[in-house]
Amino acid sequence: MDNQLQATPICGRHRALNALMAPFGGWDMPIQYEGIIAEHSWCRTSSSLFDICHMGEFIFQGDFEAGGLEDVFTFSVKTIPLGRSRYGFLLNEQGGIIDDLIVFRLAEDKVMIVVNAATAPKDFAAIKGRLRGGVFTDITAATGKLDLQGPLSRYVMVELLGEEVATIPYFKFITMNILGVEAIVSRTGYTGELGYEIFIPTEKVCELWDLLLTDERVKPAGLGARDVLRLEVGYSLYGSDIDEETTPLEAGLEGFVNFDTSFVGRDALLRLKDQGVTRKKVAFEVAGRRSPRHHYDLCSGGEVVGNVTSGVFSPMLGKGIGIGFIKPELTAIGTPLTISHERVSMEATVCELPFFKDGSVRA
């Protein structure tokens, strides 16, 4: 066992369930319990519980403009309505993505910033370096996070936690009392299904985990299923699909960049917009059950024209799917590609996202 790995409060329960554990973002995390495909199907049809305590949470309190927070992300913080959250990026000077994150507007002068586990320390340093005032704190250790995702999640939440969950719209959240403490329940997730992300003080997170699992419609799911679920709906994974060498323009995520705001990386993105990108995100379906995998080559006319950044066998589509980066002229829907790696070769076709279109996310 790697002593450097951090463990979430739920770790003992994962082991008791005989989960397969592996390092992820510096944490010892459950990859699967009964099996990735079984857990994936359960989430698409019922309700799955994920331990997401590894993700980072920061609080900023103060004047967003005077404190400098307004210029940190690719979107405006002050225009997020109370009780709503917004997805976007923290960029470097070159426009590369330091992290993708969600900002929750908790109060007139207060937000919570939710970031990826592996990048949390560098995110904190980058944000802090750009602030001119306000109080900025890392509350990761004090904050437990559980995701309940799947079409039946609303019924489970209402029955176990309270009626007020019933009417939370997509990308809105409420603060409510759970197990005697104040918790945040947000209608967001990473699966393409109706679901919730729950933020609760660390000391109560095991009790909440146990409570949610008392409902027979709920089963635990690991990061393996989570990766298949997110890829089927085309969500990017930081570290695989996007990183500091990739800009939101190349990654097809320009919709989460507001050029009317000022932010670090804006000038670089405007220059790149002007010049045009040399590679662009592409989604493709394989003819058959083979899986494209990270680092496999994307080829056209016998030449390597790009690379796969995420790929998997999609249980919903019954074939291999993937995303990668390629010369922009080859991103038209229907373009044939060959995916190649050592002895492996498979034919694929450029398609639109999401791969799986029937999720309950907005139900």
Partner 1 sequence: MSMYFTKEHEWVKVEGNLGTVGISDHAAHELGDITFVELPKIGAVVKQFGVLGSIESVKAASDIFAPLSGNVVKVNDALELAPEAVNESAEGAGWMAQIEIANESELKNLMNQEQYNDYLKTL
Instruction: Supply the minimum distance, in Å, between the C-beta of residue 337 and partner 1.
Output: 18
Q: In what order do the strands lie in the sheet with 20-24?
A: 6-7, 27-32, 20-24
Q: HSE-up of 72 (CA within 13 Å, CB side)?
A: 30
Query: In terms of CB distance, is 102 or 286 closer to partner 1?
Result: 286
Q: Which two tokens stand for residue 280?
A: 């662009």
Query: In terms of CB distance, is 35 or 129 closer to partner 1?
Result: 35
- Asked if residues 189 and 150 have their Cβ atoms less than 8 Å apart, the reply is no
Q: Where does this chain bind partner 1 (CB under 8 A)?
A: 20, 31-32, 35-38, 224, 228, 288-291, 293, 312-313, 320, 343-344
CA distance 215 to 160: 8
Residue 325 has φ and ψ, to the nearest 5°, of: -125, 140
Kindly state the greatest CA–CA separation across the chain. Answer: 63
Query: In terms of CB distance, is 110 or 293 closer to partner 1?
Result: 293
Query: In terms of CB distance, is 77 or 286 closer to partner 1?
Result: 286
DSSP string, 301-330: TTEEEEEEEEEEEETTTTEEEEEEEE-GGG
Residue 142 CB neighbour total at 10 angstroms: 11
Instruction: Supply the minimum distance, in Å, between the C-beta of residue 251 and partner 1.
Output: 24
Three-class SS of residue 45? helix
Instruction: Supply the minimum distance, in Å, between the C-beta of residue 291 and partner 1.
Output: 5
Q: HSE-up of 169 (CA within 13 Å, CB side)?
A: 3
Q: Is 6 exposed, middle or buried, given 0-12, 13-18 or 19+ CB atoms closer than 10 A?
A: middle
Query: In terms of CB distance, is 21 or 312 closer to partner 1?
Result: 312
Query: In terms of CB distance, is 20 or 141 closer to partner 1?
Result: 20
Instruction: Supply the minimum distance, in Å, between the C-beta of residue 226 and partner 1.
Output: 12
Instruction: Supply the minimum distance, in Å, between the C-beta of residue 21 and partner 1.
Output: 13
Instruction: Supply the minimum distance, in Å, between the C-beta of residue 140 and partner 1.
Output: 28
Query: In terms of CB distance, is 9 or 239 closer to partner 1?
Result: 239
Query: In terms of CB distance, is 167 or 345 closer to partner 1?
Result: 345
Instruction: Supply the minimum distance, in Å, between the C-beta of residue 344 and partner 1.
Output: 7
Q: Which two tokens stand for residue 107?
A: 């109060």
Distances (CA, A) of 66 to 60, 61, 70, 233: 13, 11, 8, 38
Instruction: Supply the minimum distance, in Å, between the C-beta of residue 309 and partner 1.
Output: 16
